[in-house]
Amino acid sequence: MSNVKSPELWTLVLSVGDTAIDYLIYSDSRQDSPAMGRVPLDVSLPDVQRAIENAVYDTPLLLDDYGAVRVLAHSSCFIILPGDTGEDNATRMLEVAFGTDAGAEAMVCRMPRCDKVISWRVPKGLPGFLGRTFNLPAVYHHLYPLCEHFYRLNSASDIARMFLSVRPGAMDMVVYRRDSLVAANSYEFRDTGDAAYFALHAWQSLELDQQCDEIQILGARDLRDDLAERLKPYVKYVLPAIMPAAALRFGADVARLPLDLVLLTQCE
């Protein structure tokens, strides 16, 4: 699929990571099949920003004039703040937490459902590149869709829930107690034993109930099942999380995409 017809009727969703850009192009007003795929980054380049630019420019499908563009920017350097935090204060608090970095820029996005703000760092020049290249792109931290999507599912619950999104080498975690987001973090791991340790450490630190509260896990079946088996001796309710039914409109191949990218389409 080299180009889409009437791109102004389509939405482009990008997930920009350290080694690749994943994309989904879909339309709510047309019956055409969505386009999706992955563009590897040239990790041999010393400049991450240049690798991102080259990957986008070398993929003409991404450069059509889409009606809406939404971007997830992955970053391990972030803080989550109360929803009434102003953008300037959020940027200053990020610098207090992590110090200065001449090779990075700060970004801020709001999570209206959770009533929180995320401030995070991206490679220097990335916000300007996205603004020049795409049609008024909305840019979010990669934890945004997990926080917002699962908040809606948990807001009426009387128990606490930990949601784990696992992928090769990394895990995202969001935790809710009734109608409040109480924790969100990302971890890198060598194997699922490490991932289980991180989850159980957070569980204990947050004083969650082993007999009543839940862990729900998303991700590739082998990783998800292995992690669940490691957690079940310590937490009574360890369950697979359910993919939103609305995501099925993208077809079976949507399972190849990063979960955060798919969930972002449910946070509109």
Give the pLDDT band (50/70/90) at residue 3.
low
- State whether 93 and 131 are in the same domain: yes
Percentage with pLDDT > 70 across the chain: 97
DSSP characters over 173-221: EEEEETTEEEEEEEEE-SSHHHHHHHHHHHHHHTT--TTT-EEEEEE-H
Give the pLDDT band (50/70/90) at residue 133.
very high
- State whether 5 and 109 are in the same domain: yes
- State whether 84 and 137 are in the same domain: yes
Q: What is the CATH number of the domain that holds 233?
A: 3.30.420.260
Strand order in the sheet with 138-141: 35-40, 20-26, 11-16, 68-73, 138-141
- State whether 191 and 171 are in the same domain: yes
What is the predicted pLDDT for the residue at 2? Answer: 45
Domain-embedded: residue 256: no
Q: Which of 84, 115, 142 is the last residue of a domain?
A: 142
- Each residue's pLDDT tens digit, 108-120: 999 999 999 999 9
Task: List Cβ neighbours of 71 (8 Å cut-off, separation of 6 or more).
Answer: 13, 14, 15, 16, 130, 134, 137, 138, 139, 140
- State whether 17 and 111 are in the same domain: yes
Mean pLDDT taken over the chain: 91
Has residue 196 got a pLDDT over 90?
Answer: yes
- Each residue's pLDDT tens digit, 135-176: 899 999 999 999 999 887 777 788 999 999 998 899 999 999
Closest by CA to 176, choosing from 241, 125, 127, 257, is 241
Q: Which of 123, 142, 161 is the last residue of a domain?
A: 142
Region at 45 (left for phi over 0; alpha for psi -120 to 50; beta for the rest)? beta
Instruction: Report pTM.
Output: 0.91
- Domain span holding position 204: 146-245
* Cα 22–Cα 218–Cα 56 angle in degrees, nearest 5: 5
Q: CA 115 to CA 266: how far, in whole Å?
A: 18
Mean pLDDT within 63-85: 95
Contact 176, 154 (CB under 8 A): yes
- State whether 54 and 135 are in the same domain: yes
Domain count, the chain: 2
Has residue 1 got a pLDDT over 50?
Answer: no
Has residue 267 got a pLDDT over 90?
Answer: no
**CB burial of residue 36 (10 Å; 0-12, 13-18, 19+):** buried
The number of residues in the chain equals 268
